[in-house]
Structure 1
Amino acid sequence: MRILLQGAQVFQNNRFQVQDILINQQYIEQMGPHLTAPDAQILAMNNLVIAPGFVDVHVHLREPGFNAKETIKTGTLAGAHGGYTTVAAMPNVQPSIDTPRRLQAQIARNQASAQVHVLQYANITKDRTSEQLVDFAALKAAGAFGFSNDGNGVQSAQTMYQAMLAAKQANLPIMAHIEDDSLANHGVMNAGLRAQELGLPGIEPVAETAQLARDLELAAASGVHYHACHVSTAASVELIRVAKKRGINVSAEVTPHHLLLDESMITTDNPQLKMNPPLRTLQDRQACLAGLLDGTIDMIATDHAPHTVNDKAGSMLTAAFGITGLETSFVMLYERLVKPQLCSLAQLINWLSVKPAQVFNLTAAGQLRVGQVADLVVLNLHQPHTITADSMLSCGQNSPFIGQQVEAEVAATMVAGRWAYRKEQTE
C-alpha cells in the first residue's frame, strides 16, 4: 500500500516548502504540491514539519553483555522515538567486537532486532583496551562502519598511528574517544572550583586536549579520516579549527549535553550529571556552540549511554558515567537553541541529519528526494509537554532532562517506508 503525506513543511535542499510526499513500499515515489494517489492511505500533515531522519554516529546499544541497561530493540525504539532513522553502534559490548566473526554475529543481531538502520563499529584494538591492533582489512570485509575504542582513549601514540595507517588503507574512519588516562586521574567531574567545593576528584581538561593534539598530528601524517568524539573543551574546538585550516582530514561531534549543560549546574553530588567527558565550564559550552555555528564541529551526536537505576545510584564517586540522549536530543535542542534563536531549525536539522550523512558518505540518509529510501521524521513544533521517564522507550532513564518542559515533539518516524514510531500508537 502506498502512503500519501499531505501538506507538511518539508525540509529539502536546505529550505522548507509545503509539499506532499508519496511513499511506495520502501521508497519516495513522488514529491510536490497537490499530489493525488487514489489507492494511497492519505495522512494530513498540516502544521507539521517533515525532515530527513536524524543520523546519530555515536550510540551504545549494550547488547550483548549488558542487556539490563539496553537492548538493540529498546535502543533503536528509543532512536525512532527521538526521530533517528540511522544510528551507529559502538563496539563496547561483551564480548567486544574485535574479530570478523564477532562483527558478523553483531550485524546479524542488529538486523534481527533493530527498529532503525544500525551501522556497526569494530574495535581499534583487541579487547578494546590492549595495544594489539585488530585486523582492519578483515573487519572492513565483514561489514565494519569504522573503528573505535570508545569508552577508552588509545594510550600509546605508536598504537594509534599504526591504527590510523591501517584504517586509511581500509578507507574507514577512526572514531576517537579522546582521553589520556594519566591526566584524567580517575576523576568524576571537571577539575576546578566546583569539584573542589563538592569534594569530588576532577578530570583535567588537558586529558582531552593533550591526546587530541597528539591525534591530530598523527592524522596529518597518516591521512586517515579522524573523527573526534564528544568534544567538550574550548581548547579542543580551537585545535580542530586550526587542523581543518591545515587540511587535516578531521571531523568532530558534540553532544546535546555538552551544548546545554555545564559544571555550574552541578550543585550537589548528582550522578545524573556524571558523564565522560564531564560537563565543562560555561565558556567551554559556549565555545562548542560557536564551533558548531562556524562549521568547526560538524554534527551533533548523542553518545546515548543507558544504565540501570542501580548503575546511577548513590554518589558520583561510584556511579557509572553516561546519560541517555536519543529521546531527548531534538526536543531539548529545539527548546534551548532554536526557540531562543541561537540557531535556526534548518541549522539544527543539518547538524542532526544532513551533515553526519555527508561526512560519512551515507548516500541513503540525510536527504529527501524521489527514488530515495523513505527515512523521515515528522515534527510537531507546537505540542507543549513534559519529558517523563514513563514516556521513554529506552531501558535507561538516566537523563537530567526528565521533568523539563518542551514545546516540540517527534510525532512520527518512518524507516524504509514503515512507521518505526508514531505517537498515536503509544497512547
Structure 2
Amino acid sequence: MKTLIKNGKIVKKDNQLIPAAIWIEKGKIHAIGESFEEEAFDQVFDAKGQLITPGLVDVHVHLREPGFTYKETIASGSKSAARGGFTTVCAMPNLNPVPDTAEKLKEIYDIIKKDAVVKVLQYAPITEELRSETLTDQKALKEAGAFAFTNDGVGVQTAGTMYLAMKEAAANDMALVAHTEDESLLFGGVMHEGEISKKLGLPGILSSTEASQIARDVVLAGETGAHYHVCHVSTKESVRVIRDAKHAGIHVTAEVSPHHLILIDENIPEDNGFWKMNPPLRGNADRDALIEGLIDGTIDCIATDHAPHGLEEKKQTFLKAPFGIVGSETAFQLIYTHFVETGQFTLEQVIDWMAVKPAAIFGLEAGTLTIGSPADIAVFDLKTEEKIDDKDFESMAINTPFVGWKVKGNTLMTFVDGTLAWSKGDA
C-alpha cells in the first residue's frame, strides 16, 4: 500500500514553513518532497496547506483500564490521543489490578493490541501494589514490555526503597519515573498554598512537598547512575533543583504539563473540582520558572498527564473531587495558541518538546519525520480558530477547565504506521 499526504507544510530548522508531501510505503516514510505524481498511490490525503509534524509523543497519560473503565478505556483514551495528534502514549500503572507482575502486564498489552488506535506503552510500578515497600521484579517486567517504572499517583515515600529501585533500574537500563510528593508535608492539602487557598478556606499544598522529594531523588540518582525522570514539574524550587542536578552531571530529565504552563492558582474562580489537579496550579513565579526551564533545557518535554474522571466525581468541591484533568485533545492547540501565536515559543521548539525530545530521552523510535522512520504523522490546522467543545471529545471524560477557550492548531488527521487513526470530518 502506497499512501500520499499532499499539500502540506513542514517546519525547517529556521522555523520556516516549506511545502511538503509525504510518501508512505509499508508503514514507513519512503520519501519527503514538495510533490509526487498522485497516480502512483493507492491512497491520497490532502493536508490542505496545513502543518505536517511527526506524531506527538506523550509520556504521561492515564487510560484507566483495567479497573476504572467508567472513567476511560484503552479504546477511548487512545482515540482521544489520536484526536490530539499523539501517535505514541505511555500509560501509568495506577490501575486495578496494578500491573506489578509480568502476567498482569501482558494482560494489559493484550487489550492494547486489540483496542488501541495509537501506540500505547505501558508503565510498570516500582513497588508491588504501588504503596508497598516491596520492589517489583524489574527484569521480568522489562521482558514483558514495561516502558519504564513509576508509582505515579502516590510516589515512593521511603528513601531506601527509592535507592534500591534506582539500583535495579540502572542495572536493567530502564528509566525510573517519579511522581514527587512527600506525603508527610501534605497536611490534607487540596490546592496550592497561597492567597487563593486562604480566600477559599481550603488547605494548601506546599511547594516543598514536591521539591524536597526531587532533591532527595537526584542525590540518589547521582549515587546509583539511574535515569531519573520527574513527572509534571510545577514549582520554581523544583526547577532550581533539577537545573542544579543537570549541571552536576546527574542523569535527570523532566516534563511539564500544559495546564501548569498556562494557568495559575489565581485563575481558579471558585471551589470547583474541575480545577483540582495534582500537582496543583501554582503561583505566577512558578509558571514563569517553568517557562524559563523549558526554554533553557532544564525541563525536557511537555506531557499532558491526561487524567480522566467521571463527571459526577469532578462536579464536587475541592475537598471531595479526585485530582486530575484531561489533556490529550487540547495540549497542542493550547500550547500553539498561547505561546507560538504570541511569539514566546517557536513552532520548532513546540514540536521538539512534544515529539522529538520525549522520544529521544526514552529511546523511542518515534518523534521524527525522516526517511525510513515509522509513518507516525499528525496534520494540524494553524489558521482556523475554534472553541474547545467537550461534545467533540473522543475521551469518555470532560473534566477540564479549558472548555470554551478559543484555540488554533486543531488536529486534521493523525496517522499511525501510515494508517489513518483519526480525522476531522472529511479531512
Into which bin does the TM-score normalised by the smaller protein fall?
over 0.9
Q: What does 1:317-332 align with in structure 2 at a 5 Å threshold? A: 317-332=319-334
The answer on whether the counterparts of 2:261 and 2:287 sit within 8 Å (CA) in structure 1 is: yes
Tell me how far 1:3 sits from its aligned partner.
1.7
Tell me if 1:312 matches 2:314.
yes
TM-score (norm 1): 0.97
- Which residue identity is paired with 1:42? V
Give the number of equivalent residue pairs.
425
**Counterpart for residue 375 of structure 1:** 376
The code of the aligned residue for 1:389 comes to D
Q: String of CA shifts for 1:4-28, please: whole Å, max 9, x gaps.
A: 1223112366754322111123111
CA–CA distance in structure 1, aligned partners of residues 322 and 14 of structure 2: 39
Q: Paired residue for 2:220? A: 218
**Secondary structure at the residue paired with 2:278?**
coil
Q: Look up the match of 2:247.
A: 245
1:392 aligns with 2:398: no
- Name which of 182, 187, 195 aligns with 1:180: 182
1:139 is displaced (CA, Å) by 0.8
Secondary structure, aligned partner of 1:341:
coil
1:257 maps to 2:259? yes
- The residue correspondences of 1:345-424 to structure 2 (distance < 5 A) are 345-362=347-364, 364-424=365-425
| Structure 2 CA distance for aligned equivalents of residues 360 and 13 of structure 1 | 23
Superposed, which structure 2 residues align to 1:93-242 within 5 Å?
93-242=95-244
Contact 1:7 1:20 (8 Å CA) reproduced: yes
Which letter maps to 1:338? V
Distance across 2 between alignment mates of 1:366 and 1:270: 36
* Distance in 1 (alpha carbons) for counterparts of 2:12 and 2:75: 30
* Pairing 1:6–2:15 present: no
Which of 270, 273, 277 is matched with 1:271 structurally? 273
**Any conservation in 2 of the 1:80–1:420 contact (CA below 8 Å)?**
yes
Tell me the distance in 2 between the aligned counterparts of 1:28 and 1:153: 39
CA contact under 8 A between 1:189 and 1:274: conserved in structure 2?
yes
Runs (4 or more) in structure 1 with deviation over 3 Å come to: 11-16
The residue that corresponds to 1:30 in the other structure is 31
The answer to whether the 8 Å contact 1:11/1:52 transfers is no
Q: Aligned letter for 1:5?
A: I
Q: Which residue of 2 aligns with 1:65?
A: 67
Partner of 1:77: 79
Q: Would you say the 8 A contact 2:13–2:348 is kept in 1?
A: no
Alpha-carbon displacement from aligned partner over 1:280-323 (angstroms, at most 9, x marks no partner): 00110111011000000000000000001111012110001000
Q: Secondary structure at the match of 2:312?
A: coil
User: How far has the Cα of 1:370 moved from its partner?
Assistant: 1.6
CA deviations over 1:317-341 (Å, ceiling 9, x no partner): 0001000000010111111111111
Q: Does 1:334 align with 2:366?
A: no
Distance in 2 separating the partners of 1:110 and 1:121:
13
Q: Select between 58-67 and 401-410 the one with higher mean Cα deviation.
A: 401-410
Contact 1:12–1:367 (CA under 8 A) maintained in structure 2: no
Indicate the RMSD between aligned Cα atoms, in angstroms. Answer: 1.2
Contact 1:252 1:299 (C-alpha < 8 Å) held by counterparts: yes
Decide whether the 8 Å contact of 2:230 with 2:255 is kept in 1: yes
Q: Structure 1 residue 153: deviation in Å?
A: 1.6
Contact 2:11/2:347, CA 8 A, preserved across alignment: no
Residue aligned with 1:424, SS: coil
> What is the CA-CA distance between 1:47 and the residue it aligns to?
2.1
> How far did 1:55 drift?
0.1
For 1:159 and 1:404, locate their aligned partners in 2 and report how far apart those are by CA, in whole Å. Answer: 43
1:20 is aligned to 21
How much does 1:39 deviate?
3.2
Larger deviation, residues 159-168 vs 265-274: 265-274
Decide which of 71, 88, 91 is 2:90's aligned counterpart: 88
- Unpaired segments of 5 or more residues in structure 1? none
Deviations 1:201-246 (A, max 9, x none): 1111100011110001000001000000000000100111110010
Q: What amino acid sits opposite 1:329 in the alignment?
A: A
Tell me the CA shift for residue 69 of structure 1: 0.2
Once the two structures are TM-superposed, the CA of residue 407 in structure 1 deviates from its matched residue by 2.2
Q: Secondary structure at the match of 1:38?
A: helix
CA distance in 2, matches of 1:46, 1:100: 46
The one-letter amino acid paired with 1:175 is V
Q: Is the 8 A contact 1:335 1:408 kept in 2?
A: yes
In the alignment, the residues of structure 2 paired with residue 394 and residue 121 of structure 1 have an alpha-carbon distance, to the nearest angstrom, of 20
Q: Letter of the 2:149 partner, please give it.
A: F
Deviations 1:229-274 (A, max 9, x none): 0000001001111100100000000000100110011131011110
Give the drift of 1:45. 2.4
SS at match of 1:311: helix
1:34 offset after TM fit, Å?
Answer: 2.6
CA contact 1:12–1:368 (8 Å) conserved in 2: no
In 1, Cα distance between equivalents of 2:269 and 2:384: 31
Q: Which amino acid aligns with 2:402?
A: F
TM-score by length of 2: 0.97
What is the DSSP-based 3-state SS (H/G/I as helix, E as strand, rest coil) of the residue aligned with 1:166?
helix
SS in 1 for 2:311: coil
Q: Mind listing any 5+ residue stretches in structure 2 that lack a counterpart?
A: none
The percentage of aligned residue pairs carrying the same residue is 46
User: Letter of the aligned partner of 2:6 in structure 1?
Assistant: Q
Displacement of 1:37 in angstroms is 4.5
* Higher mean C-alpha displacement, 25-34 vs 79-88: 25-34
